[in-house]
Amino acid sequence: MADKEEKAIIGLWGPGEKGKTKTLNLLIKSLGGPEGTGDQRVRLTYREKKIAITTYGDDKWQLQKNVAFFDEESCDIYVTATRTSGGSVVELEKFEKKIGAEIIWISKSYSTSYQELINERQAETIKDVIDSVIDACK
């Protein structure tokens, strides 16, 4: 991301109550951010890149607040939860057009059992995506 204008957006999308918040909280912790269990909006620095992560994503209104947070923080990488369709997705797509970045959509994995393990692995996968985005811009 040598070019200051180059940005990346990662959208973790899926139905409600399937572990998006838990997964993103695990990601925040793995990137050196604060440990949390509920919804939060966090800005942190990882590998010299500013990253904003928002666990809220249930509706248009929450995504509008996420985008306002993103605008305030002016980061290199933005990560947020969204539902599978509807207002939250529309708001993230508006932000995508506004900053000229393409959303990297990641579908939330879930199961009737082993959900904690799935959340942990998916947080690791998103961290790997962030590492790949940073490496590609060197």
Residue 53 lies in a domain: yes
pLDDT at position 5 is 56
- What are the tens digits of pLDDT across the range 32-45? 999 999 999 999 99
Q: Contact 20/81 with Cβ under 8 angstroms?
A: yes
Residue 1 lies in a domain: no
Phi-psi region of 77 (alpha: psi -120 to 50; beta: other; left: phi over 0): beta
C-alpha distances (whole Å) from 6 to each of 44, 125, 132 are 18, 22, 14
Residue 32 lies in a domain: yes
Residue 3 lies in a domain: no
Residue 2 lies in a domain: no
Full residue range of the structural domain in which residue 27 is found: 8-136
Residue 48 lies in a domain: yes
Least confident range of 75-79, 94-98, 109-113: 109-113
Q: Determine the average pLDDT of the residues in 55-74.
A: 96
- Domain count within the chain: 1
Residue 14 lies in a domain: yes
Residue 25 lies in a domain: yes
- What are the tens digits of pLDDT across the range 109-121? 999 899 999 999 9
Mean pLDDT, the chain, as a whole number? Answer: 94
CATH no. for residue 42?
Answer: 3.40.50
- What are the tens digits of pLDDT across the range 6-19? 899 999 999 999 99
- pTM assigned to the model: 0.94
Euclidean distance between CA atoms 101 and 67, whole angstroms: 14
> How far is the first Cα of the chain from the last one, in angstroms, to the nearest whole number?
6
